[in-house]
Amino acid sequence: MTRSAPAFSTHLLKLFIETTSAEVGRKNLPTVLTKSGLPTEWADPAAVSRLGGQAAAEAYAGLQRAIRTYYGRGARGILQRIGCNLWPRMRAKAPLLATAQANLIRNIPERMRRKSILDLLARLLSAKSGDITIHTLDLDLLLVDRASPTTYNQRDDEPICYVTQGLIREALYWATNREPDVEEISCQAAGAQTCEFKISFGERS
């Protein structure tokens, strides 16, 4: 089955670029892109606002690949931090209804907050309904990303969705004040059909 090209929100892409610039340095990001042979315009939030959904997905994936190439082994931590720092920017710029839902989630029982906040994160990240779904696995949770713009035109021997890992971790910490363990157990870049993230709070039945 041929995978259809994913789409990505230019609004989220702009927030991602702003967060990435803050992490690696505004002046350094164009250099990171140049070293990977990618357009330096991808470092400019204003420039990417003109992109369509598929082109935005290409830029989102390309920026992450450029960071992996440039920083080598250190890229994983950098991209996870970018994901963590992207969450508060997403909340601050979210539609009014999503902001209200996020605030309500923090007032329900802690166990219920976990899936609720991931459902909200999935809606904010998805280009269309069903792109990302959340499933309950006994005491754990599973986030399944079928679109995965991070992996667009990417191939690797291991999972590469570090930004998504950071987003999941930070959203859950914000909602529950607890630090979850987030592991990407399958990745489209490594040949899987979906990118899947197992989320555990270290509890046992």
- Looking at residue 1, its pLDDT comes to 42
Question: At the topology level of CATH, where does 10-200 sit?
Answer: H-NOX domain (3.90.1520)
pLDDT tens-place values along the chain, 205 residues long: 446 789 999 999 999 999 999 999 999 999 999 999 999 999 999 999 999 999 999 999 999 999 999 999 999 999 999 999 999 999 999 999 999 999 999 999 999 999 999 999 999 999 999 999 999 988 899 999 999 999 999 999 999 999 999 999 999 999 999 999 999 999 999 999 999 999 999 876 5
CB-neighbour burial class of residue 158 (10 A; exposed 0-12, middle 13-18, buried 19+): exposed
**Domain limits, the chain:** 10-200
How many residues belong to the chain?
205
- Say which amino acid occupies 124: L
pTM for the model stands at 0.94
CB atoms within 10 A of CB 186: 16
Helices (H) and strands (E) in the chain, counts: 8, 4
CA dist 203 and 198 (Å) reads 13
CB-neighbour burial class of residue 32 (10 A; exposed 0-12, middle 13-18, buried 19+): buried
Q: In this structure, are residues 105 and 113 in contact, taking their beta carbons and an 8 Å threshold?
A: yes
